[in-house]
Amino acid sequence: MQQEIQRRKLLTRRAAVLALGQATLVAGLAGRMYQLQILDAAGYKVLADENRISMRLLAPPRGRILDRFGVALAGNRQNYRLVIVAEQAGDLAKTLDALARLIALDDETRHRVLHEVRRKHSFVPVVVRDNLSWDEMARVEVAIPELPGVSIEQGLTRNYPFGETLAHILGYVGAVSERELGSDPLLELPDFRVGKSGIEKSRDLELRGHAGNRQVEVNALGRVVRELGRTEPTPGRDVVSALDMTMQDFVTRRCSSEESIACVALDAVTGEVIALVSSPSFDPAAFSSRLSRAMWQQLATDPRKPLSNKVISGIYPPGSTFKPVVALAALEAGVLTPQTTFFCPGSFTLGNATFHCWKHGGHGTLRVRDAIKESCDVFFYNTALRLGIDRLAATARQFGYGAVLGLDIPGERPGLIPTRAWKLATTGTPWQHGETLIAGIGQGSVLATPLQIAVMAARLVTGLTVVPRLVRDNGVMAAGEDPAAPDFAPLDFNPTLRALVMDGMNAVVNERGGTAYAARIAEPGMAMGGKSGTSQVRRISEAEREHGLRKPNQIPWKDRDHALFVGFAPVEAPRYVCATLVEHGGFGSEVAGPIVRDVLLEIQRRDPGRRAPDANSVAAFAAPPAPSRNVGG
């Protein structure tokens, strides 16, 4: 009994200690609750709201790209996507079976859908088919009541109605790369596309627009419970290009006879690029979606370089098209007068080296005008030798050679105009006189893009530092508008001498004996002047010269000469210039000349630099309007 009392006393004492301990811990809990719910409550309220409200970005529709008269060259097409929400679908396999009876649905798609459904939350829509045709969509729409969980969503995809024709100018859009991520939150949207090349890239910011947003209440799984507020996105602005789509189309068709060609037509007064073709080309739509590896391989390894815009990125020896520059430089420098004569025996000897003229028998004695007309190499060997490479280079630079011109799409290459200093710096060996000789006929180290050759012609005929451009900042050209030319800086050339060179180029085409007489324009008032060029890809050996030159079709394609021609029209008051380079095409006057003739004739008839066509002919070119309809979903 005594023990029982003792034991109870001990227990009571220790129970009191236990109770005290427990009370202390509960008090601690209460204190912590006080801190959380009273002292720190404000901070946690902010966090709770952040949890609850989610900002969803709304992507703006991308601006269109128009031609100078308003024809849409790049736009957005409604893209109808078939999506399925697993939690509403019930028996997914049965629903897919039902769908397969309406539209084509292969096994691969079925597997992908079933796989994605398992991986995602059941309320997240899974795309079954992209790019539904109008017909397919109609069939599904009608059957929607029997297809639980199935709906049709619409999105926008970039659309290039003219496809390959404009791929090098407009470029294409693609998914945002790591490097392109910037401050614009739009770039982080998973489906967002940015310009990757061409105008799409250079004018991306204008075309892109500004994000809108949607404030939504979401739960922890990200399911939207309701929308709380909405700011609409600002659509991207339309960009007006200088192109005339009718001319572009004409030039494309005219160039289609050649395997690999670059052709550009400018308004010499405004510098606007009216047409620009680099062929072969590629389908820009293929880049907007996913490009297959095989297709990429094929595009990247094609020797005709379909991915390259040869007008601005291809660099070639300008050949004889360079001779007007040499002539003007020599005349300006005073080493040549209009009356100076040189004798051409068919070759020129410097030291122990012999430099040939293209004409085996030689041209005899001739002045500068006829030297241009007949493209006498020996005359220009003499001229270049007297002028010297550095003075030639200075003039060439004034014409736009040797540096990028600043065209408003990416990818321009500067080409090369050699000087003594350049040679010493890059090779460590001094300049040789022989090199001056071949530079005088646009060969050797001299490299230029077709655009530079066209700009050379524009600067020659206007006497102004014409800068080419692809985008018009003054919007779509209205009917009857004759836009004022931009203020180009005048070039420091004697107009009389400039006229003499132009006269030589007139003679090339319009006088019997000129190298391109066969390519003259007969239409009154529309005659062109120009200069042909045939630039050598491969050195011709003495042995070959002994045995007689081979015919072009006996030489492998990649070893054949490039055919060039640059022309301006009308010859009395030049407005348009056109430069064409046919890669490995053969003789410039025979291959490139007729193309330039046809382009310049057509462009004068249309006169897109001064005259807007009537509305009907523009509408005829517009792409068929995309079907617009609200699709329930």
Partner 1 sequence: MANPLPEIGRREQTLLEKARSISWGLVALICLVAVFGVGVLYSAADGNMEPWATKQTIRFVISLMIMLACALLDIRYWFRAAYWIYTAVLALVVAVDLRGFVGMGAQRWIDLGVIQLQPSELMNVALVLALARYFHGLANEDLGRIRYLVAPAVMVLLPAALVLKQPDLGTAIVLLLCSAALFFVAGVRLRLLTLIGAAAGAAIPLAWRFLRDYQKNRIYTFLDPDSDPLGAGYHILQSKIALGSGGLFGKGFLLGTQSHLNFLPEKQTDFIFTTLAEEFGFIGSMVLLAIYSLIIAYCFAIALRSTNHFGRLVGLGIATNFFLYVFINTAMVIGVIPVVGVPLPLISYGGTAMLAAMFGFGLLVNVCVHREVRLNRSGESQL
User: Considering the rule CB under 8 A, would residue 227 count as an interface residue with partner 1?
Assistant: no
User: Considering the rule CB under 8 A, would residue 226 count as an interface residue with partner 1?
Assistant: no
Query: Cβ closer to partner 1: 28 or 303?
Result: 28
User: Considering the rule CB under 8 A, would residue 404 count as an interface residue with partner 1?
Assistant: no
Reported as half-sphere exposure (CB side, CA atoms, 13 A), residue 292 has a value of 3
How far apart CA 454 and CA 329 sit, in angstroms, is: 18
Are 247 and 602 within 8 A, CB to CB? yes
Strands 239-241 and 65-66: parallel
With contacts defined by CB under 8 A, name the span among 33-41, 103-111, 288-296, 526-534 that binds partner 1.
33-41
From residue 192 to residue 221, the character string flagging contacts with partner 1 as x (rule: CB under 8 A) and all else as - is -------------------------xxxxx
How far apart CA 519 and CA 597 sit, in angstroms, is: 6
Query: Cβ closer to partner 1: 18 or 144?
Result: 18
Token output for 11: 């227990």
User: Considering the rule CB under 8 A, would residue 26 count as an interface residue with partner 1?
Assistant: yes
Query: Cβ closer to partner 1: 42 or 484?
Result: 42
With contacts defined by CB under 8 A, name the span among 34-42, 198-206, 305-313, 563-571 that binds partner 1.
34-42
CB of 41 to partner 1, least distance (A): 4
With contacts defined by CB under 8 A, name the span among 32-40, 196-204, 356-364, 528-536 that binds partner 1.
32-40
CB of 35 to partner 1, least distance (A): 9
| Catalytic choice (278, 320, 532, 589) | 320
Q: For residue 272, what are the β-bridge partners? A: 469
CB of 20 to partner 1, least distance (A): 11
User: Considering the rule CB under 8 A, would residue 474 count as an interface residue with partner 1?
Assistant: no
Query: Cβ closer to partner 1: 39 or 294?
Result: 39
CB of 409 to partner 1, least distance (A): 43
- Residues contacting 347, CB < 8 A, separation 6+: 354, 355, 356, 357, 362, 378
CB of 218 to partner 1, least distance (A): 7
How far apart CA 207 and CA 184 sit, in angstroms, is: 14
User: Considering the rule CB under 8 A, would residue 20 count as an interface residue with partner 1?
Assistant: no
Please list, residue by residue across 405-425, b when 16 or more beta carbons sit within 10 angstroms of its beta carbon and e when fewer do: bebbbbbbbebbbbbeebbee
Query: Cβ closer to partner 1: 31 or 182?
Result: 31
CB of 33 to partner 1, least distance (A): 5
Spell out where 353-453 has E strands: 353-356, 364-366
How far apart CA 391 and CA 93 sit, in angstroms, is: 79
From residue 158 to residue 197, the character string flagging contacts with partner 1 as x (rule: CB under 8 A) and all else as - is ----------------------------------------
| DSSP three-state, residue 265 | strand
Closest by CA to 530, choosing from 493, 496, 498, 571, is: 571
User: Considering the rule CB under 8 A, would residue 28 count as an interface residue with partner 1?
Assistant: yes
**Long-range contacts (CB closer than 8 Å, 24 or more residues apart) made by 48-51:** 51/220
Query: Cβ closer to partner 1: 7 or 629?
Result: 7
Query: Cβ closer to partner 1: 14 or 538?
Result: 14
Token output for 108: 């691969």
Reported as half-sphere exposure (CB side, CA atoms, 13 A), residue 366 has a value of 22
How far apart CA 421 and CA 408 sit, in angstroms, is: 31
602 exposed, middle or buried (CB, 10 Å; 0-12, 13-18, 19+)? Answer: middle
Length of the chain: 633
Q: Which residue has the tokens 């062109």?
A: 528
185 preceded by cis ω (within 30°)? no
How far apart CA 207 and CA 216 sit, in angstroms, is: 27
Token output for 520: 């003259």
CB of 52 to partner 1, least distance (A): 5
Among 142, 205, 225, 478, binds partner 1 (CB under 8 A): 225
User: Considering the rule CB under 8 A, would residue 32 count as an interface residue with partner 1?
Assistant: yes
User: Considering the rule CB under 8 A, would residue 45 count as an interface residue with partner 1?
Assistant: yes
User: Considering the rule CB under 8 A, would residue 51 count as an interface residue with partner 1?
Assistant: yes
Query: Cβ closer to partner 1: 33 or 142?
Result: 33
| DSSP three-state, residue 619 | helix
User: Considering the rule CB under 8 A, would residue 6 count as an interface residue with partner 1?
Assistant: yes
CB of 51 to partner 1, least distance (A): 5
With contacts defined by CB under 8 A, name the span among 23-31, 167-175, 236-244, 500-508 that binds partner 1.
23-31
How far apart CA 378 and CA 343 sit, in angstroms, is: 8
User: Considering the rule CB under 8 A, would residue 34 count as an interface residue with partner 1?
Assistant: yes
With contacts defined by CB under 8 A, name the span among 42-50, 435-443, 488-496, 563-571 that binds partner 1.
42-50
| DSSP three-state, residue 183 | coil
The number of residues that bind partner 1 (CB under 8 A) is 41
User: Considering the rule CB under 8 A, would residue 25 count as an interface residue with partner 1?
Assistant: yes
| DSSP three-state, residue 198 | helix
Query: Cβ closer to partner 1: 25 or 142?
Result: 25
User: Considering the rule CB under 8 A, would residue 473 count as an interface residue with partner 1?
Assistant: no
| DSSP three-state, residue 30 | helix
User: Considering the rule CB under 8 A, would residue 142 count as an interface residue with partner 1?
Assistant: no
Angle subtended at Cα 144 by Cα 142 and Cα 149, rounded to the nearest 5 degrees: 165
| DSSP three-state, residue 413 | coil
Query: Cβ closer to partner 1: 41 or 93?
Result: 41
User: Considering the rule CB under 8 A, would residue 228 count as an interface residue with partner 1?
Assistant: no
Token output for 385: 């030798």
Q: For residue 77, what are the β-bridge partners? A: 157
In degrees rounded to 5, what are phi and psi of residue 238? -75, 145
User: Considering the rule CB under 8 A, would residue 47 count as an interface residue with partner 1?
Assistant: yes
Closest by CA to 372, choosing from 195, 533, 599, is: 533
CB of 221 to partner 1, least distance (A): 6
CB count within 10 Å of CB 444 equals 18
Query: Cβ closer to partner 1: 5 or 543?
Result: 5
Amino acid found at 32: R
Query: Cβ closer to partner 1: 10 or 631?
Result: 10
User: Considering the rule CB under 8 A, would residue 18 count as an interface residue with partner 1?
Assistant: yes
CB of 224 to partner 1, least distance (A): 11
Say whether 347 is catalytic.
no
272 exposed, middle or buried (CB, 10 Å; 0-12, 13-18, 19+)? Answer: buried
CB of 1 to partner 1, least distance (A): 9
User: Considering the rule CB under 8 A, would residue 12 count as an interface residue with partner 1?
Assistant: yes
User: Considering the rule CB under 8 A, would residue 38 count as an interface residue with partner 1?
Assistant: yes
Q: List the catalytic residues.
A: 320
Site of interaction with partner 1 (CB under 8 A) = 3-4, 6-8, 10-12, 14-15, 17-19, 22-23, 25-26, 28-30, 32-34, 36-38, 40-41, 43-45, 47-48, 51-52, 217-221, 225
